[in-house]
Structure 1
Amino acid sequence: MNLNYELLVFDWDGTLFDSTACIVKSIQLAAREFGLPEVPVERARHVIGLGLEPALKIAVPELPAERYRELAHAYRRHYFATVHEVTLFEGVPELLQALQARGHRLAVATGKSRRGLDEALEQVGLRGLFEATRTADETASKPHPQMLHELMDELGVPAHRSLMIGDTTHDLQLAANAGTAALAVAFGAHGEGELRALQPLAVLHDVPALAGWLKSHG
């Protein structure tokens, strides 16, 4: 089968996993523990997809630099206390299974930690669908291209046959920096206007639209 994109690399949070609200709340609760001002929702949403400490430095700029590691521990405690209530977006398992059946190779590039991604994959039963994954604590954080470069190298797929799919400008910048095409979904952390400004192949508003686009163009 002649696929336009052999390798499909998905972001996790806000693209496959409906975790945006959980992440925002965990950032806000962690900041509150430190007696800091309430983190605005839009600021917390903006940093989703980055590695945790870089994200917290932007979301909570009032904290002294030497305390961000403590804040990260507080964030993780709040996140792991509630993430078991989070689910995949409706239709995601069926989409991934159909893509795999058509011959696509699937991977994940995420700002999560390795622990966070492994626990999430186990929770939703998707571990066996992805040939390779990269997390922000084992390689450079988005939008540095290293995540995508490592995935493409590991799986032996060139940039022109690879597609990055994500819900944030960090994902789209990652793709641009790595020399791959990018597809955006507008049901996660960043809004349609922000996403369109980076000129992805398309901006899609739900999982069925994503499935339809990939069936026609992928």
Structure 2
Amino acid sequence: MQTGMKAVLFDWDGTLIDTTEHVYLANVEVMRAFGLPALTRERYGEHFSANWRLMYKAFGVPEHLIEGAADVWHAAYHGHAAELLPGAFAALTRLVDAGIPIGVVTAGDRKVVSVQLQRTGVVDLLGAVVYGDDAPEQKPHPAPLRRGLAALGHSGSTADSAYLGDTLDDMRMARAVGSRAVGIHSPFFHPDRFYEADAHEHAASVAAWVDQLLDGHPIATPKR
């Protein structure tokens, strides 16, 4: 089917792989290790950002402890063996079979995500991978997504590309680049919040969105 879509890129954690709870629990441990108030799910959903320095500042981590928070987080993270979310691999395969180049733009570190990409077989489907520690700019800065689009040979017009992610910063990055901003539902906030970041649309999962895209069905949109 002709979709008009020439490139689709994805966030990794919580969008393609089932690590959302692992990421949250590691952040809970950061707060506990520093003797700070417990990190509730509501507070986490309100302040989560791919820019972990800004996120920890919002959580109340003192400035002099923020750099060390990354070491605590990595020690507490247990999502290395996580599985892909249901239907994700088949959805990526459908896009590739339809001739649409795909890539991953993640805030995750190369040493963690590269192993997961290899283990799940997703790396064999990708034309581009941008890791969080590849450059100093972090989501919602547009540079990571621009880098991913360029690696797919799509650095010109961005209106016929899409970026799928489960956070508001994912939507802000996509909008800043000019790509279609697609929110993937998160357990930490209501999907209507994607509208705060001006998402074009949202869907329950990557699999649901890809089916809708390739089968020509309507896609859920945020409230206006």
User: What's the secondary structure of 1:55's corresponding residue?
Assistant: helix
Distance 1:208 1:108 in 2: 15
Structure 1 residue identity aligned to 2:181: A
Structure 1 residue identity aligned to 2:142: P
Deviation larger for 177-186 or 147-156? 147-156
Q: Which residue number corresponds to residue 112 of structure 1? A: 108
Distance 1:47 1:114 in 2: 24
Summarize deviations over 1:170-196 as a string: whole Å, max 9, x none.
111001111111111114554212113
Q: Work out whether residues 169 and 190 of structure 1, in 8 Å CA contact, stay in contact via their aligned partners in 2.
A: no
User: What's the secondary structure of 2:199's corresponding residue?
Assistant: coil
User: What's the secondary structure of 1:159's corresponding residue?
Assistant: coil
Q: Which residue number corresponds to residue 220 of structure 2? A: none
Q: CA deviation at 1:163?
A: 0.7
Distance 1:175 1:34 in 2: 34
Aligned to 2:138, which of 124, 138, 141? 141
Structure 1 residue identity aligned to 2:196: A
User: What's the secondary structure of 2:197's corresponding residue?
Assistant: coil
Unaligned segments of structure 2, at least 5 residues? 218-224
Q: Work out whether residues 108 and 130 of structure 1, in 8 Å CA contact, stay in contact via their aligned partners in 2.
A: yes
User: What's the secondary structure of 2:85's corresponding residue?
Assistant: coil
Whether 1:50 and 2:50 are equivalent positions in the alignment is: yes
Q: Which residue number corresponds to residue 160 of structure 1? A: 159
Q: Work out whether residues 84 and 123 of structure 1, in 8 Å CA contact, stay in contact via their aligned partners in 2.
A: no
Q: Work out whether residues 196 and 203 of structure 1, in 8 Å CA contact, stay in contact via their aligned partners in 2.
A: no
Q: CA deviation at 1:216?
A: 3.6
User: What's the secondary structure of 1:25's corresponding residue?
Assistant: helix
User: How many corresponding residue pairs?
Assistant: 214
Structure 2 residue identity aligned to 1:131: G
Whether 1:122 and 2:121 are equivalent positions in the alignment is: no
Q: CA deviation at 1:49?
A: 5.1
Q: CA deviation at 1:168?
A: 1.2
Cα 1:17–1:190 change in 2 (3 A) is farther
Distance 2:53 2:131 in 1: 13
Q: Which residue number corresponds to residue 27 of structure 1? A: 27
Cα 1:49–1:8 change in 2 (3 A) is farther
Unaligned segments of structure 1, at least 5 residues? none
Give the percent of matched residue pairs that are identical in Structure 1 and Structure 2.
25
Whether 1:15 and 2:15 are equivalent positions in the alignment is: yes
Structure 2 residue identity aligned to 1:160: A
Q: CA deviation at 1:47?
A: 4.8
Aligned to 1:73, which of 58, 71, 74? 71
Distance 1:47 1:118 in 2: 26
Distance 2:143 2:88 in 1: 26
Q: Which residue number corresponds to residue 214 of structure 1? A: 213
User: What's the secondary structure of 1:90's corresponding residue?
Assistant: coil
How large is the RMSD of aligned CA atoms in angstroms?
2.1
User: What's the secondary structure of 1:84's corresponding residue?
Assistant: coil
Deviation larger for 194-203 or 65-74? 194-203
User: What's the secondary structure of 2:182's corresponding residue?
Assistant: strand
Aligned to 1:89, which of 70, 85, 93? 85
